[in-house]
Each structure stands twice: as C-alpha cells, then as structure tokens.
Amino acid sequence: MRAFCVGGGPVAENPKDWDVATKLIRGGIARSQFMETAEALYLTQGFTYDSAEGADRRFAGEDPGFVYSRFNNPTVKMFEDRLALLEGAEVCRAQATGMASIHAALMGLVRAGDHVVAGRALFGSCRWIVSEWLPRFGVETTFVDATDPKAWEAAMRPNTKAVLVETPSNPVLEITDIRAVSELAHAVGAKVIVDNVFATPIFQKPLELGADVVVYSATKHIDGQGRVLGGAILTSEAINEEFYRDSLRHTGPSLSPFNAWVMLKGLETLDLRVRRQADSAFALANTIAEHKKVQTVLYPFRPDHPGHNVAKAQMTGGGTVIALDLGSREAAFKFLNALEIVDISNNLGDAKSMATHPPTTTHRSVPEAERPSLGVTEGGVRLSVGLESVEDLKRDVIRALDQA
C-alpha cells in the first residue's frame, strides 16, 4: 500500500533505501490530484485556507501545509526533499544563490563576540564574507592554511562557533581533511560548515565525515546547464531549528519555485553528468600534464596532487575541475584566447567546458599580496570540464597550449 501526500499523489515508502540514481529521479516527488508525471511548478506566492480556523491551525503548525512561498513552496520543497535524500541529511533549505546559502549558514551560527575559522583558499565571495562582512558585526575571523590540521588546531578558540571548509577549494583544489577538522572544531564546541560545490554530492558526503552543515551553490553542477542560480543548506533537524529556521524565515533568501523546478530536472541527470565530467577531467589532466608548456597540473585524483591521499580517503571521484599553471599571465591569456571549443567563462560544473584566469576574474577581490598564499598565480588557469567529447576537448586544449 502506498502512502499519500497532501496534494493527493502517492509518496514513496522507503526512499532512503534507494540507490543514488533512483533518489535523483524519484526523491521528493509530491504529485497533485492530477497525478502529473513531471514535477509540478507551483508558481504562487501564497496559499488559501478553507476557513479562518484552518488558517489558524496552519499558522500554528498543527496542520501541515504551506502558508507563504518565502517560508516554503511545494516545488521548492520537492527540490529540498530530493537533495536531502541524496545528501543523507535530515533537512535541506534552499536559497536563491550559493552565496545566500553561505551567508545564511554562517550568520545563523554566530553573534557579536564569536569567532570563525576558515581556510584561506576560498571562493572569492566566501572569503569576502569572512574577511570583510562578519567583522562588521563584531565577529572575529581567522584564516588558516586549510591543508594543515595543525594550523586549524592552533586557530581554534573557546569562542570559535563556526568553521568554514571548502574542499576541494577554488581555484587550486586544495584538500582539507574534513574528519580531522571536524574533531578539532567539535572539541571547542564549534560547528563545521563544508562548501561542497567542487566535490558535488556525488563524490563527497561531509555529514558522514563529521561536518554539521553542507552548503551548495546549486548554480554549478546541480543545474549544470547554465540556466538558473540557486543554493542550499543541508543539516540536522536540531541545527535547523536552533540556528536557521527563524533567520531564514525572517530574512527571506528564498529560492524561486521556477528555479527549484529547473534544479529538480538538473538533479535527475546529476549522477550521469558529474561522473562523465569527472572521467573526462581526469583524462584531460593526464594529457595536459604531458605538455611542455605546462608548469603544474592539479587534479585531486592524480598521485602528484599534494592532497591526493586525503582526497582518495574522503572522495569517491576527483571532481570536474582542473587547475593548471602556465608560468605567466601572457601565456595564460594566449592559451585562453586560442581555445575554440572551451569557453572563457567564470562558471563551473556546466555541461559546457569553461576556462578562466582567476586573478583577473573570480579572485580579483583578493588583495594581490595575498594571492600567492591562496595559489592564485598570474599563470594560473582553472578549467571546468564539461560533457563534450573528451577527444575534442583534448585536441582543443593541446592546440591552445601549443600556441601559449
């Protein structure tokens, strides 16, 4: 016998037992009374009640259902439920962008007088929130070399309330040992947030490694086809209740139902896309490494990557991004300009391969003097590998390297 959801359609009994591919196609589906095949798009701001008493019960939380799309919406909830199932999290909360998610995840955990520790090599906007924004509200912050557990240990204080880890990091794919950092953070009572964008929910499960909160820019692999922005926070019921429920409700970084609907369709093919992209990225990294113009190639599953052992222990795939260094800005620009298939673009995780020069684009806001310590070098190029034929990509990249 099947259970039935509020809208009328049947809901799955034990979706947690499904394999990933099934979760991605069927997780979170709540069919309406019309029993549509595809997920319905509920493009509505609000909801109506059959009586004043009904509204009273709905607002009191005694009757399940929706009250306002800033709090939740049936299409957004399907997206949240599907992603929570994939991640193995009790709760998923969706936001309008990845940055709204990172911001809400951090702000919900801290108040004036608290302290935050973060890896120094972060996505540019995440770094800005930690270095510029949090201190405005009396939150102290410390950056550490995220590859060094001793540096994390030394930075922890009694008032450390949140730790932000990005692994692999942007742009040079530094690897942080999530389990080790989680133990150090928990010893001082801090919560661990992992920005899991580069690893994707397919290749890394931070909650199983001890993290408390996982954050995604769903703009990247989850949409994966360059259409909409989105983000998500995944955590436990208890953390959501204590730190996020009210702050999200009252500050309103909500995901649009339309974007949630696009992302639901993105999730259906996430496993297929990301595995193919990672296979191509690995092959392409190995090809690039042979080229004489290339000084370094970084890909987490190559044995010469400095974080290779940790990456192998906590990830089941190396990801879809490669970092390479051509020695100078001139060479990097020549390489980018010579690419014919790969686009010059700062996005990543897309079906289309894209390359960017971090110091002049994504990491422009990092002060020049600090860039080398983040691995942001003048000759650096970040290459996000898409779904094109890997043979075509190899030819395009090799030809562009010849001209660099």
Residues that bind ligand PLP (CB under 6 A): 97-99, 102, 123, 126, 166, 170, 195, 197-198, 217, 219-220, 229, 231
For ligand PLP, the closer of residues 126 and 385 by Cβ is 126
- The answer to whether the beta carbons of residues 168 and 199 sit under 8 Å apart is yes
Nearest residue to ligand PLP by CB is 98
**Residue owning tokens 């696009």:** 262
In whole angstroms, the minimum distance from the beta carbon of 198 to ligand PLP comes to 6
* Cβ 59 to ligand PLP shortest distance, Å: 32
User: b/e for 78-102, b at 16 or more Cβ within 10 A?
Assistant: bbbbbbbbbbebebbbbbbbbbbbb
Answer yes or no: are the C-beta atoms of 321 and 166 closer than 8 Å. no
Q: Please report how close the Cβ of residue 121 comes to ligand PLP at its closest, in angstroms.
A: 10
The kind and range of the H/E element at 297 are strand 296-298
Pairing status of strand 354-356 against strand 343-344:
parallel
Strand pairing class (91-95; 140-144): unpaired
Closest approach, Cβ 88 to ligand PLP, in A, equals: 21
Distance CA 240, CA 227 (A): 29
Q: Which is nearer to ligand PLP, 42 or 123 (CB)?
A: 123
Residue number with CB closer to ligand PLP (166 or 378): 166
* CA–CA distance, 285 with 383 (Å, rounded to integer): 10
* Closer Cβ to ligand PLP, 234 or 294, answer by number: 234
Shortest Å distance, C-beta 378 to ligand PLP: 21
Which is nearer to ligand PLP, 81 or 195 (by Cβ)?
A: 195
Name beta bridge partners: 164.
118, 193
Q: Which is nearer to ligand PLP, 32 or 346 (CB)?
A: 346
Q: How far is the CB of 212 from ligand PLP (least distance, A)?
A: 18
DSSP letters, 122-150, are --HHHHHIIIIIHHHTT-EEEEE-TT-HH
